A and B are shown apart, each in its own frame.
Chain A
Amino acid sequence: MTSAFKPHPEYLRLSDLHAFYGESHILHGLDLSVAKGECVTLLGRNGSGRTTTLKSIMGLVGRRTGSIMISGNEVIHEPTHKIAHHGVGYCPEERAIFTSLSTEENLTLAPIISSGGMSIDELYQMFPNLEERRASPGGKLSGGEQQMLAMARILRTGAKLLLLDEITEGLAPVIVKKLGEVIVELKRRGFTIVLVEQNFRFAAPLADRHYVLEHGEIIATISHEELPGKMDWLHQTLGV
Chain B
Amino acid sequence: MEIFGIPTALLGSQLLVGLINGSFYAILSLGLAIIFGLLNIINFCHGAQYMMGAFVAWIALTRFGINYWVALIAAPLIVGAVGVVIERLMLRRLYKLDHLYGLLLTFGLALIIEGVFRDQYGISGESYDVPELLSGGINLGFMFLPIYRAWIIVASLTVCFGTWYMIERTKLGAYLRAGTENSQMVQALGINVPLLITFTYGYGVALAAFAGVLAAPVFQVNPLMGSNLIIVVFAVVVIGGMGSIMGSILTGLGLGLIEGLTKVFYPEASSVIVFVIMVIVLLVRPAGLFGKT
**Do A and B actually bind?**
yes
Bound state CA distance, A154 and B177, in angstroms? 19
Determine if A92 is an interface residue (Cβ-Cβ < 8 Å).
yes
* CB–CB B177/A101 < 8 A: yes
Which single residue of chain B is at the shortest CB-CB distance from A79? B194
Bound state CA distance, A111 and B196, in angstroms? 14
Count contacts on B: residues with CB < 8 A to the other chain: 17
* CB–CB B175/A100 < 8 A: no
Determine if B1 is an interface residue (Cβ-Cβ < 8 Å).
no
* CB–CB B177/A100 < 8 A: yes
For chains A and B in complex, what number of residue pairs have CB atoms within 8 angstroms?
57
Determine if A110 is an interface residue (Cβ-Cβ < 8 Å).
yes
Determine if A153 is an interface residue (Cβ-Cβ < 8 Å).
yes
Bound state CA distance, A100 and B188, in angstroms? 18
| A96 and B190 in contact, given A101-B177, A109-B174 (Cβ under 8 angstroms) | no
* CB–CB B187/A81 < 8 A: yes
* CB–CB B177/A90 < 8 A: no
* CB–CB A154/B184 < 8 A: no
Determine if B191 is an interface residue (Cβ-Cβ < 8 Å).
yes
Which single residue of chain B is at the shortest CB-CB distance from A85? B190
Determine if A113 is an interface residue (Cβ-Cβ < 8 Å).
yes
Whole-angstrom distance from the CB of A2 to the nearest CB of chain B?
25
1/0 contact string of B188-213 vs chain A (CB within 8 Å): 11111110000000000000000000
Count contacts on A: residues with CB < 8 A to the other chain: 23
* CB–CB B191/A111 < 8 A: yes
Determine if A105 is an interface residue (Cβ-Cβ < 8 Å).
yes
Determine if B276 is an interface residue (Cβ-Cβ < 8 Å).
no
Determine if B100 is an interface residue (Cβ-Cβ < 8 Å).
no
Return chain A residues, CB-CB under 8 Å to B184: 60, 80
* CB–CB B191/A110 < 8 A: yes
Determine if B129 is an interface residue (Cβ-Cβ < 8 Å).
no
| A110 and B174 in contact, given A98-B182, A100-B181 (Cβ under 8 angstroms) | no
1/0 contact string of A63-91 vs chain B (CB within 8 Å): 00000000000000001110011000010
Determine if A58 is an interface residue (Cβ-Cβ < 8 Å).
yes
Determine if A157 is an interface residue (Cβ-Cβ < 8 Å).
yes
Determine if A223 is an interface residue (Cβ-Cβ < 8 Å).
no
Determine if A115 is an interface residue (Cβ-Cβ < 8 Å).
no
User: Contact partner of A84 among B177, B182, B188, CB < 8 A?
Assistant: B188
Whole-angstrom distance from the CB of A165 to the nearest CB of chain B?
11
Bound state CA distance, A148 and B192, in angstroms? 25
Bound state CA distance, A81 and B186, in angstroms? 8
1/0 contact string of A103-127 vs chain B (CB within 8 Å): 0011001110100000000000000
Interface residues in B193-247 by Cβ distance below 8 A to A read 193-194
A-side interface mostly: loop
Determine if B185 is an interface residue (Cβ-Cβ < 8 Å).
yes
* CB–CB A96/B194 < 8 A: no
Determine if B178 is an interface residue (Cβ-Cβ < 8 Å).
yes
Return chain A residues, CB-CB under 8 Å to B190: 81, 84-85, 110-111, 113, 157
* CB–CB A157/B189 < 8 A: yes
Determine if A199 is an interface residue (Cβ-Cβ < 8 Å).
no
Bound state CA distance, A79 and B184, in angstroms? 11
Bound state CA distance, A96 and B188, in angstroms? 11
* CB–CB A99/B181 < 8 A: yes
| A109 and B187 in contact, given A96-B182, A98-B181 (Cβ under 8 angstroms) | no
Interface residues in A133-162 by Cβ distance below 8 A to B read 153-154, 157
Bound state CA distance, A106 and B192, in angstroms? 17
Return chain A residues, CB-CB under 8 Å to B182: 96, 98
User: Contact partner of B174 among A84, A90, A101, A154, CB < 8 A?
Assistant: A101
Q: Top 10 A-B pairs ranked by shortest CB distance?
A: A84-B190, A110-B189, A96-B185, A98-B178, A80-B187, A90-B188, A81-B187, A81-B192, A98-B181, A58-B188
Enumerate chain A interface residues (CB-CB to B < 8 A): 58, 60, 79-81, 84-85, 90, 92, 96, 98-101, 105-106, 109-111, 113, 153-154, 157
Q: List 21 A-B contacts (CB under 8 A).
A: A60-B184, A80-B193, A81-B191, A90-B188, A92-B188, A96-B182, A98-B177, A98-B178, A98-B181, A100-B181, A101-B177, A105-B174, A106-B178, A109-B175, A109-B178, A110-B189, A111-B191, A113-B190, A153-B189, A154-B189, A157-B189
Enumerate chain B interface residues (CB-CB to A < 8 A): 174-175, 177-178, 181-182, 184-194
Given A80-B193, A109-B186, A154-B189: 11 more A-B contacts, CB < 8 Å: A79-B187, A80-B188, A81-B188, A81-B191, A84-B190, A85-B190, A92-B188, A99-B181, A100-B177, A109-B191, A157-B190
